[in-house]
Copies of this chain bind each other. A is one copy, B any other.
Amino acid sequence: MYQPITIKDIAKALGLSTSTVSRALTDRYEISVETKKLVLEYAEKIGYQPNPIAQSLKERRSHSIGVVVCEVANNYFSQAINGIESIAYSRGYHVIITQTHESFDREVVNVQHMASRGVDGLLISLSSETNDLNHLTTLHEKGLPMVFFDRVANDIETHKVIADNYRGAFDATEHLIKTGSRRIAHLTNSPNLSITAERLDGFKAALAKYDVPFNPDYLKHCDHGGMIQDEVEIAVNQLLALSDRPDAIFIASDRLSTGCLYTLKKHGIKVPADIAIAGFTNSDVAELFNPALTTVRQPAFKIGQIATEMLIQLIESKYPVTEFETRKLDTELIIRESSEHHVTIT
C-alpha cells in the first residue's frame, strides 16, 4: 500500500535522533539554528507531512469537531454548516459532518463514533425522534465539550445557539392575522424538539394578542419532521377535512412547507386565495415558488459561526467552564405572495 514519510526517515537520513527532528520541526528553542534549518529543508524537500493519527493518539486531541444534523439536504443546515466550516477552518479545526435523518438510533451511533474517533467537541442539533439524552449526558459528564444549535437539549447545561423561534412564529402568525386570516392552522414538527415548543408558544401568543381562540384541531405534529411525505399529507388532509377548514397555515419547518405545498397543489387548492401560507424555511428559492412563499428565515450561517466559536472556546479553555450562555438571534419575516390573499387590516 502507500507509505508516507515519517520523522524516522528524516532522522535516519540526517543522522539525528527522532527527538531532535521532532523538536526542530516544532521549532523548539533547544535546537540549534543550523540543525533546524537542515531538518526543515530536508523535510520540505522530501515532502514530509506529520501523521495526524499518531499526533491524535499522543496529544489526545484531533483538532476536529463533529457535527450532528438531521440532513445536509436542508437549506437551514447546509447554511449552518457553511458557517461552522468558515470558523472551524480559520481556527485550524476540521469538520466532520454526520446525518441522523431524524432517527434516534442514527444519532446515537454517530455521536458515539465521533466521540470514540476523538473529536475535540460536538456541535449538535437533535433529531426529531430524540427524547432520551443518555448518549449525550454520559459524554457531557465525561467532559466532552458540546454546543447545541437550533434543536437544543434543555436538560444539558452547555452553550446553546438558537434563533428567536418565539418571535419568528409570533411575527408570521401576526402577519397572517393582519392579512385577514382567522382560522389559522399550525403544521409543526415532533413535540420532542425545543423549536416545536418555542414556535408553538409564539403562534399562540400572536393568536392571543388578537383574541383569536386557539383551536387544538388546527395543530398538527409530524413526528418525522416531514422526512416521510405521507405523514405530511395525512396531516394536511386532516386539516382540509375539518368542517371549519383553516384559511391559513403557519408551517414550522422547511420540509413541512414543501410537503404541505405539494399536498395543497395535489388537491387543487389555491394559495393564497383559498388558504394562505407562511412558514419557517431557509430555502433561497422560496421566491421562485408558485406562489412565492412568505417565510421566516433564520440566520443559519451566523448561528453556525457562533456555535463554532463557542465550542472552540470550550475546547481550548484551560479550566472547566461553568458559566453557560444561550444566544438567541433574530429571525426575518419575508413577506411574499403566499400570505397575501386578504386585505391588510390594522
Contact = CB atoms under 8 A, between A and B. Distances in A.
Task: Count copies of this chain in the complex.
Answer: 2
A262 B82 CA distance: 23
Interface in A87-137: 94-99, 112-113, 116-118
Contacts of A144: 2
A140 to B, nearest CB: 10
A52 B94 contact: no
A70 B97 CA distance: 15
A81 interface: yes
A342 to B, nearest CB: 21
Given A73-B82, A113-B94, A117-B52, A288 B290 contact: yes
A292 B290 contact: yes
Interface residues of A, number: 51
Interface of A: 1-4, 49-54, 56-57, 60, 62, 71-73, 75, 78-79, 81-82, 85, 94-99, 112-113, 116-118, 139, 142-144, 258, 261-262, 265, 283-285, 287-292
28 contacts: A1-B60, A1-B143, A2-B139, A2-B142, A2-B144, A3-B142, A4-B116, A51-B118, A53-B57, A53-B62, A53-B117, A53-B118, A57-B57, A71-B78, A72-B73, A72-B81, A72-B97, A73-B78, A78-B78, A82-B99, A85-B99, A96-B96, A97-B97, A258-B285, A262-B288, A265-B287, A288-B290, A290-B292
